[in-house]
Amino acid sequence: MPRTLEVYNLLGVLPDVRARALTGLRNRAYKLPGGVEPLKTYYMDPPAEPSPAVPYPNLVSLGQASVAEILRRHMEALGGRIEFGTELVSFEQDGACVHARITKKARLGGSDSDEVEVQEETVVASWLVGCDGAKSTVRKLLGMEFKGETRTGEGETRLVIADVEVKGLSVEYWHFWGEFSTILVMLRPTEDEDIFALWVGGQIDYAKVASDREELIKAVRAGTDREDLQIGEVKWLSEFRPNIRMVDRFSEGRVFLVGDAAHVHSPFGAQGLNSGIQDAFNLAWKLALAHRRLAAPGLLSSYTAERQPVIAAMLRKTTALLDATAETMRSREDSERTAQTWDRGGALKQMGVNYRWSAVVLDERAAARGEGAVEGREREPVDPYGYGLVKGGSIRAGERAPDATGLAHVKTDDETSGAETSLFSIFSATRHTLLLFVGAANADELAPIIAQARRYPPDILHPVVIFSSEERLASIEGSGAHLDLDVTLVDREGHAFAGYRCDGDRLTVVVVRPDGVIGGIVYSLKGLEKYFGGVFS
């Protein structure tokens, strides 16, 4: 999803992701019998052009294994290492650390040997983060209840899923045949040559199809009426029943749950990996500050407070999509309604996901305008998935920080001066970015805020001054002020001031968190200090 691509951009892995991912896939349903003539071809989300605020507006398709490989490679380049064959057995925690008992398995005599040596050790760590999936050992050891439901009905909610080698099928489409009242077959190309993701459901013997390659091929041929499809190796094969579950809280003491360990849902909507990435990104910067003893006391508790309402809204949406999709596929619905149930645009892009109610965000502008903000935030989550936000409107603290292009460097060395940049090129996954939008402000307003920003280490806070014009910059310099900042910009095309709804009549300070979320919108030094008080120790 586009919001995830923005996270990858902040992490520096986006070029590798885009190089591997598939783009522009359309859905294609086929007439039966025959299975060759298209019934309807449509986009899950029609392609959009990039804009100054949204540089990555379109969906891409990339398997979880490929994503993990890219992230692992970048982590190793930074000196990290993943230990495979390692299993968590138990853990204990106290106020200072976590004692985790693990086992490590190693083959004796090389990779072809069946002899395995098991070693046990205890690891002492400051924190434990469980990213260990729906069957999470960490969650079970915490004793957290995984509340929800497992769909056990026949037909419409069961699927056999697999990755299979298929030749003779276009890689430009996600292919659909049939419906749940007969046999439903879906084949989606992947980034690996001739490998398709396969879903089969309906009137089949699930136990046989999920355990036997020949039975799987029979079901595919029966559902597609296509004898010409060459089905080769089955990479993996499993039966799937939708689970819709979530824990009450995402952490306990020094132990945290992320992604499927904390919540699972229907695959309809493609929100799973995307939501897990957002969980991890929300937690990571807070945990980094806490580990350095720079976090305010309530910062880590904001992880559950921010993410749980978002995930609850996601579960409602994906469950509704599951029910609607199953309904249209139980019988031959009109093709327009079928296309609507496969719409993956709008809020599902996660661009509207927000934390406007969070105790660690502050919005003086919204409070001054009476936009439902009390003490600079909402009283409670109103629209955590941002269904209303995707249509545009005001920008609030707790929302996604938009990009802005057409910014020009000034007051730098000769090589950089005048060079064009964007906000996404300046934001960092490891520190807050302090944007000072200077319209009609004078030097007396700027000086104390810049001085306050200078009190924080540069790896924690990065101040950036943005002037509405060269004339405004000249007037500030003419007053004898010395900005002395690493980054001073002029918004030559007006995208930054417009995107952040800064009209230029007053100084507006926007604090962008390391996770790309607006943490604060304030007008004064007092407001900035109040925001910092909720985040930094």
pLDDT digits (tens, 9 = 90+) for 23-40: 999 999 999 999 999 999
Over residues 196-201, mean pLDDT: 95
pLDDT in tens, 412-471: 555 566 789 999 999 999 999 999 999 876 777 888 999 999 999 999 999 999 999 888
Mean pLDDT computed over 107-135: 87
**pLDDT surpasses 70 at 70:** yes
The structure's pTM equals 0.92
Percent of all residues in the chain with a pLDDT value above 70, rounded to a whole number: 89
Q: Which of 359, 130, 461, 365 is nearest to 263 (CA)?
A: 130
Would you place residue 155 in the very low, low, confident or very high pLDDT band (cuts 50, 70, 90)? very low
Three-state secondary structure call for residue 14: helix
Residue 483 scores a pLDDT above 70: no
Compute the distance between CA of residue 487 and CA of residue 412 in angstroms, rounded to an integer. 8
Q: At what angle do helices 272-291 and 2-11 cross, to 10 degrees?
A: 40
Residue 535: its pLDDT value, please? 98
Give me the pLDDT at residue 80, please.
95
- The residue with greater pLDDT, 15 or 109, is 15
pLDDT for 86: 95
Query: Is 387 a residue whose pLDDT tops 80?
Result: no
- pLDDT band at residue 193 under the 50/70/90 scheme: very high
Q: What angle do CA 234, 261, 247 make, to 5 degrees?
A: 135
Give 354-367 pLDDT, tens digit per residue.
Answer: 999 999 999 999 88
Residues 368, 390 contacting (CB under 8 angstroms): no
Contacts of residues 73-82 at CB distance under 8 Å and 24 or more positions apart, as own/partner, are 73/16, 74/11, 74/12, 74/13, 74/16
Which amino acid, 394?
S
Compute the distance between CA of residue 170 and CA of residue 26 in angstroms, rounded to an integer. Answer: 11
- Split at pLDDT 50, 70, 90, the class of 474 is confident
pLDDT at 321: 81
Residue 89 pLDDT > 50: yes
pLDDT at 478: 66
- Which pLDDT score is estimated for 34? 96
* pLDDT higher than threshold 50 for residue 335: no
Please report which confidence band the pLDDT of residue 188 belongs to, taking 50, 70 and 90 as the band edges. Answer: very high
Residue 214, both tokens: 């020949």
Check whether 61 has a pLDDT greater than 70. yes
pLDDT at 238: 94
Q: Averaged over 85-108, what is the pLDDT?
A: 93
DSSP letter for 390, please. G
Are β-strands 487-491 and 461-467 bridged in parallel, bridged antiparallel, or unpaired?
A: parallel
Q: Tens digits of per-residue pLDDT, 247-289? A: 999 999 999 999 999 999 877 766 778 999 999 999 999 999 9
| Bridge-based pairing state of the strands 461-467 and 432-438 | parallel
**Which domains, from first to last, does the chain contain?**
25-58+152-241 (3.30.9.10), 83-125 (no CATH), 362-535 (3.40.30.10)
Ramachandran category for residue 386: left, alpha or beta (phi over 0 → left; psi -120 to 50 → alpha): left
Sequence-ordered list of residues with C-beta below 8 angstroms from that of 43, at least 6 positions apart, any chain = 26, 27
Does the structure show a pLDDT above 80 at 328?
Answer: no
Across all residues in the chain, what is the average pLDDT? 89
- Residue 452 CB burial class (10 angstroms; 0-12, 13-18, ≥19): middle
More confident residue, 324 or 77: 77
- Bridge partners (DSSP) listed for residue 119: 104
Mean pLDDT of the region 401-409 = 97
Of 190-194, 206-210, 355-359, 439-443, give the lowest mean pLDDT range. Answer: 439-443
Query: Is pLDDT of 158 > 60?
Result: yes
Q: For residue 96, is pLDDT > 50?
A: yes
117 has which bridge partners? 106
Q: Reduce the DSSP state of residue 249 to 3 states and report it.
A: coil
Check pLDDT > 80 for residue 157.
no
- Torsion on CA atoms 389, 348, 284, 144, rounded to nearest 10: 110
| pLDDT value for 153 | 64
DSSP state for residue 77 in the 8-state scheme: H
pLDDT over 70 (residue 219):
yes
Please provide residue 31's backbone torsions phi and psi, each rounded to the nearest 5 degrees: -75, 145
Rounded distance between C-alpha atoms, residue 253 and residue 98, angstroms? 10
- Other Cβ atoms closer than 10 A to 64: 10
* pLDDT for the residue numbered 212: 96
**The predicted structure's pLDDT at residue 240:** 87
Q: Does residue 196 sit in helix, strand or coil?
A: strand
pLDDT confidence of residue 347: 79
Grouping H, G, I as helix, E, B as strand and the rest as coil, residue 166 is strand
Q: Please report the pLDDT score of residue 344 as a whole number.
A: 52
Give 343's pLDDT tier (boundaries 50, 70, 90).
low
- The predicted structure's pLDDT at residue 322: 79
The angle formed by the CA atoms of residues 520, 523 and 526, to the nearest 5 degrees, is 85
User: Which of the pair, 150 or 443, is modelled with greater confidence?
Assistant: 150
Q: Residue 392: its pLDDT value, please?
A: 62
- Are 241 and 235 a contacting pair, CB within 8 Å? no
